[in-house]
């Protein structure tokens, strides 16, 4: 089996599931990560890149010097990605699933061409990874009692949720919006918080807010309003939920 075929994902699985499975695999199997292959056997990456160039219709494979530069760059810029990620990135662009990038190689397989594809894939991948983290955070919040689970039950769910809001609000007061946005964990927390507060009717947001950035901005505005109007969030939430 060629190196390229080994790194081709199941064609029957959806594109989103392919990216999800590669992300999870890269976490659970560090030996699959580019940085691990780079440390243990760079020749495997070189062989993969040569086959990929032929796959794309490039007649002359990259030179050894060019390959070394590309391999060093991949290990530095995309250390936790897998070789399957690279193959999938090109496949998704070829299929038109990822747009906004020129797939034409003009018979040149270099760092600029490779990163133009991978950077678009990174944006696509990050959205899917964020969904995975949202689900993981949701499960954690259920386990911790911040979200009511009808099967599990939770006596103090309202108080825990109110305390969570206050905790995130206090965090908001100490950071700039750019600092908050730069933290994937905080963005996930704000997205989850929006969904929770909307469901419990604490806020009257829009259920059509599907974009993560929209939810994040809404919660920032929610906290900003509380700050400007000197709202005692803890007392307000405790009163709403009937907590003594």
Do 164 and 65 lie in one domain? The reply is: no
Do 40 and 108 lie in one domain? The reply is: yes
Domain end (from 129, 159, 187): 129
| Within a domain: 227 | yes
Do 32 and 117 lie in one domain? The reply is: yes
Count the helix, strand and coil residues of the chain and give each as a percent rounded to the nearest 5.
Answer: 70, 0, 30
Segment 183-211 shows an average pLDDT of 74
Do 186 and 230 lie in one domain? The reply is: yes
Do 51 and 157 lie in one domain? The reply is: no
Band of residue 140 on the pLDDT scale cut at 50, 70, 90: low
Segment 194-216 shows an average pLDDT of 70
* Structural domain total, the chain: 2
- Give the span between the Cα atoms of 172 and 162, in whole angstroms: 15
| Within a domain: 228 | yes
Dihedral pair phi/psi, residue 170, rounded to 5°: -60, -35
Do 8 and 110 lie in one domain? The reply is: yes
| Within a domain: 138 | no
Do 199 and 125 lie in one domain? The reply is: no
34-38, 136-140, 233-237: lowest mean pLDDT where?
136-140
Domain end (from 85, 104, 129): 129
* Predicted pLDDT at 205: 62
Do 151 and 122 lie in one domain? The reply is: no
* Predicted pLDDT at 6: 54
Per-residue pLDDT of 81-117, as tens digits, reads 889 999 999 999 988 888 788 888 888 888 998 999 9
Tokens in use for 27?
């976490």
Closest-CA residue to 222 (of 166, 145, 150, 163): 166
Give the length of the chain.
244
Most confident of 140-149, 159-168, 208-217, 235-244: 159-168
Per-residue pLDDT of 25-70, as tens digits, reads 666 676 678 999 999 989 999 999 999 999 989 988 889 999 999 9
Band of residue 73 on the pLDDT scale cut at 50, 70, 90: very high
Q: What percent of the chain has pLDDT over 90?
A: 14
| Within a domain: 215 | yes
Residue 153 confidence (pLDDT) above 50: no
Q: Which domain holds residue 15?
A: 3-129
Tokens in use for 113?
């061409």
- Give the span between the Cα atoms of 37 and 204, in whole angstroms: 50
| Within a domain: 140 | no
Helices (H), 29-146: 34-40, 42-55, 64-77, 83-95, 111-144
Tokens in use for 16?
């989103």
Do 118 and 192 lie in one domain? The reply is: no
Domain end (from 94, 129, 164): 129
| Within a domain: 134 | no
Q: What is the pTM of this model?
A: 0.53
Residue 10 confidence (pLDDT) above 70: no
pLDDT higher at 240 or 134: 240
Dihedral, 6, 90, 132, 216 alpha carbons, nearest 10: 170
């Amino acid at each position: 089996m060629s190196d390229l075929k080994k790194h081709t994902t199941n064609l029957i699985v959806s594109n989103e599931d392919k990216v999800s499975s590669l992300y999870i695999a890269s976490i659970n199997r560090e030996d699959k990560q580019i940085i691990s292959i780079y440390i243990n056997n760079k020749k495997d990456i070189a062989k993969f890149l040569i086959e990929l160039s032929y796959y794309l219709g490039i007649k002359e494979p990259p030179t050894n010097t060019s390959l070394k530069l590309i391999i060093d760059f991949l290990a530095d810029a995309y250390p936790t990605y897998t070789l399957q990620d690279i193959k999938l990135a090109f496949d998704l662009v070829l299929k038109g699933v990822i747009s906004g990038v020129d797939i034409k190689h003009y018979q040149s397989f270099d760092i600029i061409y490779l990163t133009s594809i991978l950077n678009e894939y990174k944006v696509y991948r990050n959205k899917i990874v964020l969904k995975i983290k949202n689900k993981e955070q949701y499960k954690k919040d259920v386990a911790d009692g911040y979200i009511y689970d009808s099967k599990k039950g939770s006596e103090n769910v309202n108080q825990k949720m109110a305390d969570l809001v206050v905790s995130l609000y206090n965090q908001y007061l100490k950071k700039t919006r750019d600092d908050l946005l730069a933290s994937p964990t905080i963005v996930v927390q704000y997205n989850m918080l929006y969904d929770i507060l909307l469901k419990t009717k604490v806020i009257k947001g829009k259920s059509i807010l599907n974009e993560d950035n929209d939810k994040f901005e809404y919660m920032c505005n929610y906290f900003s309003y509380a700050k400007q109007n000197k709202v005692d969030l803890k007392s307000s939430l405790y009163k709403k939920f009937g907590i003594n």
